[in-house]
Amino acid sequence: MMRQYELVERVKRYNPAANEALLNRAYVYAMRAHGTQKRASGDPFFAHPLEVAAILTDLRLDDATIVAAVLHDTVEDTAATLDEIRELFSPEIGALVDGLTKLKRLDLVSKQAAQGENFRKLLLAVAADVRVLLVKLADRLHNMRTLGHMPAEKRARIAQETLDIYAPLAGRMGMQELRDELEDLSLRNLKPDVYETITQRLTALSQKSERMVETIEQDLTAKLAAQGIQASVSGRLKKPFSIWSKMERKSVAFEQLSDIFGFRVVVDTLPECYAALGVVHTAWPMVPGRYKDYISTPKQNDYRSIHTTVIGPRSQRVELQIRTQAMDEIAEYGIAAHAHYKEAGGRQEGGMHPRLATESGAYQWLRRTIELLAEGDSPEEFLEHTKLEL
């Protein structure tokens, strides 16, 4: 279990101005409140809110969000009260914990049929402060990581809900890594056989293709350098869920999938993105229909990048993403990036800045979605509509 000083250290690493006393108080308060409670795994319950907080420190979130994560189950599951939390911490933290408590009550009644209604309430609870959703997503991620101890039926229901609601929401918030992990964990719980087979094949392939990834990385780096472009190139095999959904979409077997490698090219400036694209398309033929320019037309979640697929060395199809360092930050952190970066790309003193967050495309999508809800679509219809949109 994470120690008190470890939590503080994790936050201080990206936010030296963090309120240490506040973090310490939250740690002690939640530890006492949860006392000897246990999780289904038999682990001390308190380990869970700490893990949720740790996930959020990876996203470099502000003190209030980290504290709310540590406290997120206290009101629902212990003798702690909201009034006490408001007084001991702050009205702001109280409001975050209140939102999370309401969402937790939703989970308890959640059934397949209630999903639409749940989703509607989820968005309404989040409307007040988008940080509630960030904690909720981290909470769901940790629960998905530790799903193994649940009865099979419950596991399937939670995994399906994650796939239907939480993973797409993470995508909408621009948090790709979170989304990928939620999807992989859902597949693993919904279709263990499929997940196992794909994972084994990917492992076998990665042993065989390690040299290949390295060769392409070096080759591409050298070709770009020859044109005066300094780039960081990294390649990897795709994730089981994305392999599986492609097999489903195209009704093909694993062996028939051609593009299982993804490469990322990160350059310094915007013009260099297009220059790098020129180098790539000059070196290898592009696959028609796979070129997308999300720099010229960013996604609604603010994602910016050039996508292309080429027939690379040894006739291997290679999918490429080309973007700047600043775009890469948004691709990695999504809506959370607005909490720590100024528009110019400079380091902020930590803390979620509501003005910056409200300017993000992801935030505006959320507001629009909530407005749609307020106009009174039926929850089921709304969920369908949102799925299509997502």
Instruction: Note whether 258 binds ligand GDP by CB under 6 A.
Output: no
Report which of 179, 180, 163 is spatially closest to residue 238, judged by C-alpha positions: 180
Separation of CA 11 from chain center: 19
Task: Using CB under 6 A, pick the residue from 170, 331, 335, 373 that binds ligand GDP.
Answer: 331
Among 72, 136, 299, 323, interactor with ligand GDP by CB under 6 A: 299
> Which two structure tokens, joined as six digits, stand for 8?
């503080």
Q: Which of 65, 101, 189, 301 binds ligand GDP (CB under 6 A)?
A: 301
- Name residue, tokens 């419950």: 154
Under DSSP, the state recorded for 264 is E
Site residue total, ligand GDP (CB under 6 A): 10
Nearer Cβ to ligand GDP (254/294) = 294
Q: Whose CA is closest to 97, among 120, 55, 67?
A: 67
We find the least distance from the C-beta atom of residue 301 to ligand GDP, in angstroms, to be 5
Give the residue numbers annotated as catalytic, written as ranges: 76-77
Stretch that binds ligand GDP, among 33-41, 95-103, 277-285, 298-306 (CB under 6 A): 298-306
State the minimum distance, in angstroms, from the CB of residue 319 to ligand GDP.
Answer: 7
| Per-residue x/- track, 273-292, ligand GDP (CB under 6 A) | -------------------x
Q: Which of residues 151-180 bind ligand GDP (CB under 6 A)?
A: 174, 176
- CA distances 284 to 146, 177, 210, Å, are 44, 29, 21
Q: Which stretch binds ligand GDP (CB under 6 A): 56-64, 223-231, 301-309, 377-385?
A: 301-309
Q: Is 355 helix (H, G, I), strand (E, B) or coil?
A: helix
| 303 counts as binding ligand GDP under rule CB under 6 A | yes
Instruction: Please return the burial class of 350, using the count of CB atoms within 10 Å of its CB with bins 0-12, 13-18 and 19+.
Output: buried
**Residue of 186, 316, 157 whose CA lies nearest to 244:** 186
Residue 378 CB neighbours (<10 A) = 11
- Cβ density class 250-280: b for 16+ within 10 Å, e for less: eeeeeeeeebbbbbbbbbeeeebbbbbbebb
The answer to whether residue 57 forms part of the interface with ligand GDP (CB under 6 A) is no
Binding positions for ligand GDP, 357-376, rule CB under 6 A: none
For the bound state, the minimum distance from the C-beta of residue 275 to ligand GDP, rounded and expressed in Å, comes to 20
Specify the stretch interacting with ligand GDP by CB under 6 A; choose among 76-84, 146-154, 297-305, 362-370.
297-305
Residues that bind ligand GDP (CB under 6 A): 174, 176, 242, 292, 299, 301, 303, 307, 321, 331
